[in-house]
Amino acid sequence: MASVFLVEDEALIRMMVADMVTELGHIVEAEANDLPSALRHARDSDFDMALLDVSLGRDSAEPVAVALANRNIPFAFASGFGAEAVPEAFRERPLLRKPFPIEQLERCIAELLQAS
């Protein structure tokens, strides 16, 4: 069982992914829907891994990715726009293409757990 930090600006998508994480036997430790709260959690909260929406409204999630990388916390991106939307410095990170099935999320979490 892993604790997950979930960053998603769309409330319904965040709730759906949180339900999927829970259904897979993990815990959603923290959630954020905007850049300031995401940065706060990325710097100060305790969790095993993170799932980041690539864009948070008009903001990029790149500063959150930098904060997580600095803490050596594994993370993946989620995007409906494809790999080109992922910040260039983080293109090697796992990417979930929205909408994604629970099986794809399960594989992504397993990959992040192996990376930690």
- Report domain extents, the chain: 3-115
Name 72's Cβ contacts closer than 8 Å, sequence gap at least 6. Answer: none
What's the CA angle centered on 101, arms 71 and 16, to 5 degrees? 70
| 3-class state of residue 51 by DSSP | strand
Q: Which CATH number applies to 3-115: 3.40.190.290, 3.40.50.2300, 3.10.400.10, 3.10.450.50? A: 3.40.50.2300
pLDDT tens digits along 5-38? 999 999 999 999 999 999 999 999 999 999 999 9
Burial of 82 (0-12, 13-18, 19+ CB in 10 A): exposed
Q: Tell if the pTM clears 0.85, that is, is over it.
A: yes
Can you give the pLDDT at residue 34?
Answer: 97
> How much is the mean pLDDT over the chain?
95
